[in-house]
C-alpha cells in the first residue's frame, strides 16, 4: 500500500529477488550490488588472499549491505570493497593467519589498527571494516567485539574551503578551458558540415580532414594500423597527417575539460558532485515563445534528501550570454558528438557530461569503458569503412561506465 492508501503495483511476471551472493564451481564467490537504479556491480571474493571460510564470512557480511535500502549507490560498495581487500591483505600477513572470524583476537585487531595509515584515511578504513565485522553474530559480544567497537578520536580535517576570491579564480580558469574546448569542437563541426554538404574540393587536405571527422563522429575513433599482437596501433597516416596525433579531441571533450564544465555548473547552480555527475540530457521546451529563447527542463537526482524526495526538476532559460541557460546550451553543444557516439555504443545512456579517455582502453580509476563493436559505415565511396575495432575509453558521468568528472 502506498503512502496515500493506494494499492502498490505488482512486479512484472517472472520477477524474482536478485541474488546478492553467488557461489560457483571451483571456489567461485561473487557478490552483486544492485544500486537504486537497478545497475549491478560484481565483486569477486575468491581473489582475497585468505582461507575459504574467511572469504565466505566476509562475502556474506558484504552481501548483506549490497541492497538498495542499505547501499543505494555503487560508490558505497566500492569504498568498502577497497578497504576489505586491504584488511584481507593484513590478515594474510599474520602468523598464523586466522581461518575464519572466530579466530580473530583483540591483539590482532589492535595490530590492524596500528597497521592502517595515520590520519583520516586510517580512521575511515577502520570504521568501514569494523562496521561490517560487527554484523557477524560471532562478533556481537566479547573482547574482539569490544576492540572493534572502540573508537579513537577523529582526526581534524586539514582541508580548507576556498575563499570567494579563490573560487573566482578557479571558476575563471574553468571557464577559459571549457570555452576553448567548445570553440574547438564548434570549429570542427563547421568543417564536418562542409564535407557532408560537398562544399570541399575532393582529394585535398581539407577534404581528407572532413572525411576523417565524419568517421570520428560516427564511430568514436579513426581507422588504425594493426600491431603485431593484433591490438590497434596508431591512426593510419592518411588521417593522422590531416588531423594530427590526437584527432579525437577535435570533436570530444577531454576529462579535464569535462571537469571544467562541472566546475562551471557548480558555480552557476550550486549543485554538488553527485547531482552534476548524474545529470541527464535536459529537454528544451517545444514552444520557445516569440523571442526564441529555449527553456530547458533539467531533471535532478538528490539522493541525500531521503526516500521519496530524490527527484526534482529545474527550469532554466537561455536569455543570452551570461544567463544560466546559456551554460546548458553550451554544455549540449560541447557534448553533442560524444553523446551521439555513446548512444550508439550503449543505448539508453542519457548522461549530459560525456568525455573520451586519453588512451584507448582507459576508462578511469573505477569505471568500466563503454564499448561495443563499431557500427559499419555507409558503403558510399566518400565514406570509408571503419576498422570495426571496439572504440574504447568512453566515460559518461554516473552511467556505470564512466565516472564523474
Three-state SS for 25-58 is: HHHCEEEEEECCCCCEEEEEHHHCCCCHHHHHHH
Point out the domain boundary residue: 88, 115, 149. 149
Whether residues 90 and 201 share a domain: the answer is no
Query: Does 5 fall in a domain?
Result: no
How much is the pLDDT for 372?
28
Helix (H, G, I), strand (E, B) or coil at 313: strand
Give the pLDDT confidence of 122-175 residue by residue, as tens digits: 888 898 899 999 998 998 899 999 998 988 887 777 777 778 888 899 999 999
Count of structural domains, the chain: 2
Whether residues 209 and 111 share a domain: the answer is no
CA distances from 174 to 116, 266, 267, 360 (A): 36, 11, 10, 26
Whether residues 137 and 170 share a domain: the answer is no
Residues of the chain predicted below pLDDT 50: 15, 362-392, 399-405
Could you list the beta-strand ranges (E) of 145-248: 224-226, 232-235
Whether residues 131 and 182 share a domain: the answer is no
Whether residues 237 and 352 share a domain: the answer is yes
96 cis-preceded (ω within 30 degrees of 0): yes
How much is the pLDDT for 7?
66
Structural domain including 63 reads 21-149
How much is the pLDDT for 384?
36
Query: Does 242 fall in a domain?
Result: yes
Whether residues 40 and 88 share a domain: the answer is yes
Whether residues 76 and 210 share a domain: the answer is no
Whether residues 231 and 108 share a domain: the answer is no
Whether residues 171 and 227 share a domain: the answer is yes
**Beta bridge mates, 331:** none
Whether residues 239 and 347 share a domain: the answer is yes
Percent of the chain that is helix, strand, coil (3-state, to 5): 45, 10, 45
Query: Does 10 fall in a domain?
Result: no
Amino acid at each position: 500500500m502506498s503512502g496515500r492508501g493506494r494499492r502498490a503495483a505488482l512486479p512484472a511476471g517472472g520477477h524474482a529477488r536478485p541474488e546478492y551472493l553467488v557461489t560457483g564451481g571451483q571456489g567461485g564467490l561473487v557478490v552483486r550490488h544492485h544500486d537504486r537504479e537497478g545497475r549491478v556491480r560484481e565483486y569477486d571474493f575468491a581473489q582475497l588472499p585468505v582461507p575459504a571460510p574467511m572469504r565466505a564470512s566476509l562475502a556474506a557480511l558484504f552481501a548483506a549491505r549490497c541492497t538498495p535500502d542499505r547501499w543505494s549507490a555503487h560508490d558505497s560498495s566500492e569504498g568498502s570493497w577497497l578497504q576489505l581487500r586491504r584488511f584481507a591483505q593484513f590478515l594474510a600477513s599474520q602468523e598464523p593467519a586466522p581461518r575464519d572470524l572466530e579466530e580473530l583476537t583483540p591483539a590482532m585487531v589492535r595490530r590492524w589498527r596500528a597497521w592502517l595509515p595515520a590520519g583520516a584515511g586510517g580512521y575511515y578504513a577502520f570504521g568501514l571494516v569494523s562496521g561490517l565485522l560487527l554484523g557477524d553474530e560471532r562478533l556481537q559480544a566479547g573482547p574482539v567485539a569490544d576492540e572493534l567497537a572502540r573508537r579513537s578520536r577523529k582526526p581534524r580535517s586539514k582541508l580548507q574551503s576556498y575563499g570567494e576570491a579563490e573560487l573566482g579564480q578557479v571558476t575563471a580558469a574553468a571557464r577559459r578551458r571549457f570555452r576553448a574546448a567548445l570553440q574547438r569542437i564548434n570549429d570542427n563541426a563547421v568543417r564536418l558540415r562542409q564535407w557532408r554538404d560537398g562544399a570541399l574540393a575532393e582529394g585535398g587536405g581539407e577534404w581528407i580532414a572532413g572525411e576523417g571527422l565524419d568517421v570520428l563522429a560516427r564511430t568514436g575513433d579513426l581507422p588504425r594500423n594493426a600491431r603485431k599482437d593484433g591490438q590497434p596501433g596508431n591512426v593510419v597516416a592518411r588521417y593522422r597527417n590531416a588531423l594530427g596525433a590526437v584527432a579525437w579531441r577535435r570533436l570530444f571533450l577531454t576529462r579535464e575539460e569535462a571537469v571544467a564544465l562541472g566546475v562551471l555548473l557548480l558555480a552557476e547552480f550550486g549543485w554538488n558532485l553527485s547531482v552534476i555527475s548524474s545529470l541527464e540530457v535536459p529537454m528544451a521546451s517545444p514552444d520557445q515563445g516569440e523571442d526564441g529563447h529555449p527553456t530547458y527542463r533539467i531533471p535532478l537526482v538528490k539522493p541525500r534528501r531521503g526516500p521519496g524526495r530524490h527527484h526534482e526538476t529545474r527550469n532554466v532559460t537561455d536569455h543570452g550570454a551570461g544567463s544560466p541557460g546559456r551554460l546548458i546550451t553550451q554544455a549540449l553543444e560541447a557534448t553533442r558528438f560524444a553523446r551521439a557516439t555513446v548512444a550508439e555504443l550503449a543505448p539508453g545512456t542519457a548522461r549530459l557530461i560525456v568525455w573520451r579517455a586519453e588512451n584507448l582502453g582507459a576508462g578511469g580509476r573505477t569505471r568500466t569503458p563503454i564499448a561495443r563493436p563499431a557500427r559499419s559505415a555507409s558503403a558510399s565511396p566518400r565514406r570509408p569503412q571503419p576498422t570495426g575495432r571496439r572504440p574504447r575509453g568512453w566515460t559518461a558521468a554516473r552511467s556505470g561506465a564512466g565516472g564523474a568528472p
